[in-house]
Structure 1
Amino acid sequence: MACSVNFSKKSIIFITGASKGIGRTIAVELSRHLDQNSVFILIARSEKGLDETKTQILMVDKSITVQTYVLDLSKPDINDYNKLFQNILSSVDTSGIEFGLIFHNAGHVGTLKQTADLTDLTTWHEYYDLNLFSAVLLNSVFVKQIRPIAPQLVVVNITSLCGRSPTLNLSMYGSGKAARELFFKVLALEEPKIIVLNYSPGPVETDMFETIITDAQSEVLKKSFREVKESTVLTTEQTVSKLLDILEKGDFKTGDTIDYYDRN
């Protein structure tokens, strides 16, 4: 199956974690490529951040429809998600939509401790609710409710090398990323007509990156991240540009995991 995405076609795009960082940059950079009748659905916890993202999109193209939804994905609820999508689809022009895209970007780094110290089960539940279970439920609703209006569905999961390579103090974060990545690989196997991409953005200068430098239990991890920050850390614009280029070229198999450094 051809995996290339034609951003010049009318699309409806859902982005979680769209109030800052990579999520905001995906929205703003995509707005430079999209058909003018396209629709953005931006989801995050911060209303102020969502409003700023919306403002930046409309500075690029005032003709794009942008809707923002304040939603706490740490409390996943299938009924809430169904109502959200029903509300969205009743309020936007869905005629002529050719692509439906969702970017699963929301998440946090979790508790940055050694594995033997990760004994608070409530913290584990909260981490997986946000980083795995909300994406599972939201994706199900996306597939079922957007498939009837969009001939081509595209699912992008923002993953991490930490989900494939063990890293000090990142067992909570890495295990969640690993679980989510495999989930989307199974989606690609079961739904071969859906374009699925697991994208690993590389070391990006975001709030999460700073949290690791500040809060990690391991001084070795802190030091390594400080060194990356001083040398090879990426901007959100750099990694999102690579992501959009990969989607446009479509030179991957659905379900693949592609790291920023896998493409020249």
Structure 2
Amino acid sequence: MKRLIIVTGSSRGIGRSIALEINRAFNSDSSFLLLARDLESLESVKGQMVIDSKAKNQIHLVQIDFSAQYEMSDYFSILKNTLTSSQVEKFNEVIAIYNHGTLEFGSVSLIAQENLRQKFETNLFSIWSLLSALNLFIPYSLVPKQTHVNISSGYANEPVANWSGHCCARSARDMLFKCFALEQPGFKILNYEPGIVYTDMLKQACQFSNDYKDGYTSGRFNMPEDTARKLVEIIRENAFLSGSKIKFN
């Protein structure tokens, strides 16, 4: 089987671990499309993936800033310019993991005083546009076996003071994928909550929360490779209900 695997935000943190783990799980006959802002880190991920798969997988890198206000047509062009028609015709499966995002702090009033479009571009609009572009570029009629995974957050369902930007964007992301599951009943759609993971984003949260700081130093949180391994297991088993949400722990 020739499969296309897309991982966004794959240069570090959870995205990096997902790319490495899913490459090990599908270590041949797969084409990867890794998208992130840091090209040097992407190259590092690619290097490890080549070693792990013994160069049996194709790996394409796209340097992209998801905070830029790209339209759906821009993402469609990226896909078209990266993957040739002959490659696309050979795909029997698509696995797309939408991982990229930022952590925004500030009160409701403070966030509203800033550029809301820019705040939500990375965390919501870019994902919406990329999802739409991919659905147009490789529709169900061409490749019916598709899995689309949104890397969600516990704060998609839990309000937190001064986290309004993060909570609202993550909640909207979850709903976007739930709606997509209804519109595309042939696909498998998942909102995956990875838990609190040791990443640069967690370091950022520690600056604003003593609870996070205490948990960080005590080793209470999850390692990115553990939650990535769990996600790959879920994808491989393919037993989840489309449109559902699964938590790591």
TM-score using structure 1 length: 0.88
Provide the residue aligned with 1:106 in structure 2.
100
- Distance in 2 separating the partners of 1:153 and 1:50: 24
Q: Which moved more, 1:63-72 or 1:242-251?
A: 242-251
SS at 1:93 equivalent: helix
* 1:92 CA displacement: 6.5
* 1:88 CA displacement: 2.2
- Distance in 1 separating the partners of 2:150 and 2:51: 27
The AA in structure 1 aligned to 2:189 is V
Provide the residue aligned with 2:42 in structure 1.
50
The runs of at least 4 consecutive aligned structure 1 residues that moved more than 3 Å come to: none
1:22 pairs with 2:14? yes
* 1:115 CA displacement: 2.6
Contact 2:197-2:224 within 8 A present in 1 as well = yes
The AA in structure 1 aligned to 2:226 is Q
1:90 pairs with 2:84? yes
The AA in structure 1 aligned to 2:158 is S
* 1:35 CA displacement: 5.0
Where does structure 2 lack aligned partners over 5 or more consecutive residues?
none
Percent of paired sites with the same residue:
29
Contact 1:39-1:65 within 8 A present in 2 as well = yes
How many residues align structurally?
245
SS at 1:79 equivalent: helix
What aligned pairs does 1:103-182 form with structure 2 within 5 A after superposition?
Answer: 103-110=97-104, 112-122=105-115, 124-147=116-139, 148-182=141-175
1:250 pairs with 2:238? yes
- Distance in 1 separating the partners of 2:10 and 2:41: 8
- How big is the alpha-carbon RMSD for the aligned residues of Structure 1 and Structure 2? 1.6
* 1:149 CA displacement: 4.2
Q: 1:12 to 1:105 in 2, by over 3 A?
A: same
Contact 1:10-1:35 within 8 A present in 2 as well = no
* 1:114 CA displacement: 2.8
- Distance in 1 separating the partners of 2:188 and 2:195: 22
- Distance in 2 separating the partners of 1:29 and 1:163: 25
- Distance in 2 separating the partners of 1:98 and 1:172: 38
SS at 1:199 equivalent: strand
- Distance in 2 separating the partners of 1:107 and 1:74: 9
